[in-house]
């Protein structure tokens, strides 16, 4: 029997939702009938609106997804202005103040504390500059990710910029593909460094070459069925298909339609295409795609570039991220800036927009490591740019512990998360910078903190993977983290192995310190951390992780999920000011 969500989608979904959002915005959040809220909040996701967790009723997260993370000149400034005007909550966050934007691991921007009544004005403002929240959440084509420096990069094999935009144009607001069984995540990689992270997407286009009619043609190999969520991580499987850039949109449409028609609509937990690929195998996926959805003979896979991939790839030679100053193909430069846990204060963002305008083209690009890239900086402008005060915080040359830190939203706003994440990861990184020496030669060290098994911070592909848990300490329940080791992408991608579970959060920095000390003591000369981990089994690795209390202090040990907001002085759920009108006046609630 189809789920409630399927019934609601069958009733009304896709572009029809916008008029309903505007209707409720006009009459007020409180006019959504009590017994229709589940249905409407599920539908609103299609327009990027996600109702925040319990204790924060009437407030929404709004996600805006530019294809490939590319914000054209002027767009980043508008997002900063929207954050400043609309994205403020009842109390400030102690690390980030009030009003900020979050750069996500899927090259999108998230704004929180959005009132439904403000959404039409926000949508109009986005429309004016060519941005959109369409399909940023919900069961359809999500934001298309890819090389954030596509079109600029010296490592580009094929033009991922064009394909990402073609896919965006074709499949956003496309009725035939607007209602899929589940979310649909697509990646386009065009470079030889693998920065599109195709392996963890439902559909991945990866750079390849193929001999066709005696000529070498550049295009894409196709992989299907990757994803990290729900303790069921999968790398995308090679379905033995090569697509030219001209064929790629049609191939993508065929696979999306195959998912639409054959995906599981009865059970949302088994709905992602990774489970269909498990069931069918990549051979049958190819066979059905060919027989039912593509009317020309598909080429077999071409020669790929995976052996050269360096992005988030352990000890590989090449760029592991886009931080720093790098020359573009046209002789100008792009400058990647580190954004710790992806969060930028609204005022900082406005100043960064000024910097982008003053020294580059004004374009700002978002990366899958929650960072930003300013492009088109002439060589003569580099010195001035690097001297800007904002670059002390958003650094092109950060400490490896801060460069490698990623965190999801966490219990601050998310219903699924088990622990607080962003503020904690900021505190972790500060303590590590002050107290831990990285072993010689270790320049990239990735620590990803995800609040739960949904894996929004991509914990399984980090050197040190942290996943939200709980445990008891001194008889009291406290927030905890599972610790995994050895994950990463590259030619031979590897998921982290969860070697030590349920570590109280205040003992995690000590565990990382001890782990690195043990690594330094036991590794062979020059051995990378990832190679070191791969040589050892889980028991050996567990012995190297020695959780320990240190000078690190964690103010969020308690059950942050039972608060309306973890950082409020009066944080109990029954102290919540929500639901509220846009001016902060409380609304009646029967909760």
Partner 1 sequence: MSSGATSAGACWSCSERVGVVITGRWQNTGIRAPTPAITTLGHALGQLLRLSRSHNYRTGVCLPAILTILSVTRLDKVCSSRWMHTDLQPQSGMAISVRTLDDGAWISINDSREVGVSEVWTLPAGECCSCRLAPVLLEGFTDVSIDGQEVVAGVVGQCLECGTRGSIDRLPVGRVGEGPTTERGRNDRRFRRYAPEAVSTRPTATHARDSP
Kindly indicate which of the ranges 164-172, 173-181, 280-288, 408-416 contains the residues binding partner 1, using the contact rule CB under 8 A.
408-416
Rounded CA-CA distance 492/469 in Å is 29
Cα 158–chain centre separation: 24
Taking residues 103 to 142 in sequence order and writing x for each that binds partner 1 by CB under 8 A, - otherwise, the string is ----------------------------------------
Looking only at residues 238 through 277 of this chain, which bind partner 1 when binding is defined by CB under 8 A?
268-269
> Of residues 382, 386, 416, 517, which one binds partner 1 by CB under 8 A?
416
Rounded CA-CA distance 273/288 in Å is 14
Rule CB under 8 A: say whether 586 interacts with partner 1.
no
Rule CB under 8 A: say whether 472 interacts with partner 1.
yes
Cβ contacts of 389 within 8 Å, gap of 6 or more = none
In whole angstroms, the minimum distance from the beta carbon of 58 to partner 1 comes to 13
CA dist 143 to 186, 195, 476, Å? 8, 16, 41
DSSP character at residue 187? E
Which H or E element spans position 544?
helix 538-544
Given a contact cutoff of 8 angstroms between Cβ atoms, the answer to whether 136 and 63 are in contact is yes
Rule CB under 8 A: say whether 34 interacts with partner 1.
yes
β-pairing, 59-64 with 109-115?
Answer: antiparallel
Kindly indicate which of the ranges 32-40, 99-107, 323-331, 513-521 contains the residues binding partner 1, using the contact rule CB under 8 A.
32-40
> Of residues 21, 39, 340, 516, which one binds partner 1 by CB under 8 A?
39
Given a contact cutoff of 8 angstroms between Cβ atoms, the answer to whether 80 and 350 are in contact is yes
Rule CB under 8 A: say whether 42 interacts with partner 1.
yes
Rule CB under 8 A: say whether 558 interacts with partner 1.
no
Q: Which is nearer to partner 1, 239 or 414 (CB)?
A: 414
Q: Which is nearer to partner 1, 23 or 284 (CB)?
A: 23
In whole angstroms, the minimum distance from the beta carbon of 43 to partner 1 comes to 10
Q: Which is nearer to partner 1, 11 or 127 (CB)?
A: 11
Rounded CA-CA distance 522/525 in Å is 9
> Of residues 97, 130, 441, 477, which one binds partner 1 by CB under 8 A?
477
Kindly indicate which of the ranges 215-223, 298-306, 452-460, 541-549 contains the residues binding partner 1, using the contact rule CB under 8 A.
452-460
- Helix (H/G/I), strand (E/B), else coil: 97: strand
Q: Which is nearer to partner 1, 12 or 212 (CB)?
A: 12
Cβ contacts of 35 within 8 Å, gap of 6 or more = none
Which H or E element spans position 224?
strand 215-224
Cβ contacts of 182 within 8 Å, gap of 6 or more = 139, 263, 268, 271, 272, 273
Size of the site for partner 1 (CB under 8 A): 41
Rule CB under 8 A: say whether 290 interacts with partner 1.
no
Kindly indicate which of the ranges 30-38, 241-249, 353-361, 436-444 contains the residues binding partner 1, using the contact rule CB under 8 A.
30-38
> 4-11 and 37-44 are packed helices; what angle lies between their axes, rounded to 10 degrees?
70
Kindly indicate which of the ranges 37-45, 291-299, 438-446, 519-527 contains the residues binding partner 1, using the contact rule CB under 8 A.
37-45
User: Where would I find the beta strands (DSSP E) of 486-562?
Assistant: 497-504
Rule CB under 8 A: say whether 454 interacts with partner 1.
yes
Which H or E element spans position 485?
strand 476-485
Rule CB under 8 A: say whether 411 interacts with partner 1.
yes
Rule CB under 8 A: say whether 23 interacts with partner 1.
no
Whether residue 478 has a cis bond before it, omega within 30° of 0: no
Taking residues 496 to 535 in sequence order and writing x for each that binds partner 1 by CB under 8 A, - otherwise, the string is -----xx---------------------------------
> Of residues 125, 230, 430, 523, which one binds partner 1 by CB under 8 A?
230
Looking only at residues 143 through 172 of this chain, which bind partner 1 when binding is defined by CB under 8 A?
none
Rule CB under 8 A: say whether 40 interacts with partner 1.
yes
Return phi, psi of residue 572, to 5°.
Answer: -60, 150
> Of residues 88, 115, 132, 417, which one binds partner 1 by CB under 8 A?
417
* Structure token digits, residue 235: 């790398």
Given a contact cutoff of 8 angstroms between Cβ atoms, the answer to whether 64 and 78 are in contact is no
Cα 81–chain centre separation: 22
Rule CB under 8 A: say whether 474 interacts with partner 1.
no
Rounded CA-CA distance 156/152 in Å is 8
Kindly indicate which of the ranges 28-36, 195-203, 346-354, 437-445 contains the residues binding partner 1, using the contact rule CB under 8 A.
28-36
In whole angstroms, the minimum distance from the beta carbon of 114 to partner 1 comes to 17
Both ends of the chain: CA-CA distance in Å? 30
Cα 488–chain centre separation: 15
Q: What is the contact surface with partner 1 in residues (CB under 8 A)?
A: 3-4, 7-8, 10-12, 33-40, 42, 53-54, 230-231, 268-269, 411, 415-418, 452-454, 469-472, 477, 501-502, 559, 561, 590-591
């Amino acid at each position: 029997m189809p789920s409630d969500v399927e019934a609601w989608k069958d009733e009304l979904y896709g572009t029809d939702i916008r008029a309903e959002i505007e209707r409720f915005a006009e009459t007020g959040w409180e006019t959504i009938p009590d017994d229709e809220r589940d249905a409407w909040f599920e539908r609103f996701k299609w327009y990027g609106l996600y109702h925040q967790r319990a204790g924060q009723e009437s407030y929404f997260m709004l996600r805006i997804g530019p294809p490939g993370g590319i914000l054209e000149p002027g767009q980043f400034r508008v997002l900063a202005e929207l954050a400043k005007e609309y994205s403020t909550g009842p109390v400030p966050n102690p690390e980030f103040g009030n009003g900020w934007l979050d750069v996500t691991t899927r090259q999108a921007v998230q704004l929180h504390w959005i009132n439904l009544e403000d959404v039409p004005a926000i949508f109009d403002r986005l429309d004016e500059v060519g941005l959109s929240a369409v399909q940023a959440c919900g069961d359809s084509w999500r934001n298309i990710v890819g090389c954030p420096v596509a079109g600029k990069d010296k490592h580009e094999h094929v033009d991922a910029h064009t394909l990402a935009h073609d896919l965006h144009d074709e499949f956003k607001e496309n009725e035939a593909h607007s209602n899929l069984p589940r979310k649909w995540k697509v990646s386009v990689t065009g470079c030889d460094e693998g920065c599109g992270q195709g392996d963890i997407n439902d559909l991945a286009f990866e750079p390849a070459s193929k001999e066709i009619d005696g000529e070498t043609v550049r295009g894409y190999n196709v992989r299907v069925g990757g994803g990290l969520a729900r303790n069921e991580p999968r790398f995308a499987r090679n379905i033995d298909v090569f697509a030219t850039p001209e064929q790629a949109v049609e191939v993508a449409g065929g696979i999306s339609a195959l998912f639409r028609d054959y995906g599981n609509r009865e059970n949302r937990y088994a709905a992602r295409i990774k489970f269909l690929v498990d069931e069918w195998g990549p051979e049958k996926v190819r066979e059905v795609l060919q027989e039912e959805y593509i009317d020309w003979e598909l080429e077999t896979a071409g020669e790929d570039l995976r052996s050269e991939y360096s992005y988030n790839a352990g000890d590989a030679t090449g760029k592991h991220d886009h931080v720093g100053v790098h020359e573009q193909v046209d002789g100008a430069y792009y400058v990647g800036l580190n954004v710790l846990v992806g969060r930028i204060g609204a005022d900082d963002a406005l100043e960064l927009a000024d910097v982008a305008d003053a020294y580059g083209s004004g374009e700002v690009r978002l990366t899958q490591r929650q960072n930003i890239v300013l492009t088109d900086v002439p060589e003569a402008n580099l010195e001035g740019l690097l001297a800007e005060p904002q670059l002390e915080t958003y650094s092109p040359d950060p400490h490896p512990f801060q460069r490698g830190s990623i965190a999801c939203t966490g219990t601050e706003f998310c219903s699924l998360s088990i622990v607080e994440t962003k503020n904690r990861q900021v505190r972790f990184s500060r303590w590590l910078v002050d107290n831990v020496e990285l072993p010689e030669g270790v320049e990239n060290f990735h620590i990803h903190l995800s609040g739960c098994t949904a894996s929004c911070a991509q914990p399984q592909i980090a050197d040190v993977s942290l996943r939200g848990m709980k445990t008891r300490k001194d008889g009291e329940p406290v927030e905890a983290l599972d610790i995994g080791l050895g994950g990463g992408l590259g030619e031979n991608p590897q998921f982290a192995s969860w070697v030590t579970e349920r570590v109280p959060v205040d003992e995690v920095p000590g565990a990382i310190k001890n782990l690195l000390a043990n690594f330094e003591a036991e590794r062979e000369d020059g051995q990378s951390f990832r190679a070191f981990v791969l040589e050892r089994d889980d028991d050996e690795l567990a012995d190297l992780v020695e959780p320990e209390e240190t000078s690190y202090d964690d103010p969020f040990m308690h059950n942050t999920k039972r608060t309306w907001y973890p950082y409020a002085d009066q944080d109990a759920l029954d102290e919540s000011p929500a639901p509220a009108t846009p001016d902060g006046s409380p609304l009646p609630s029967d909760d």
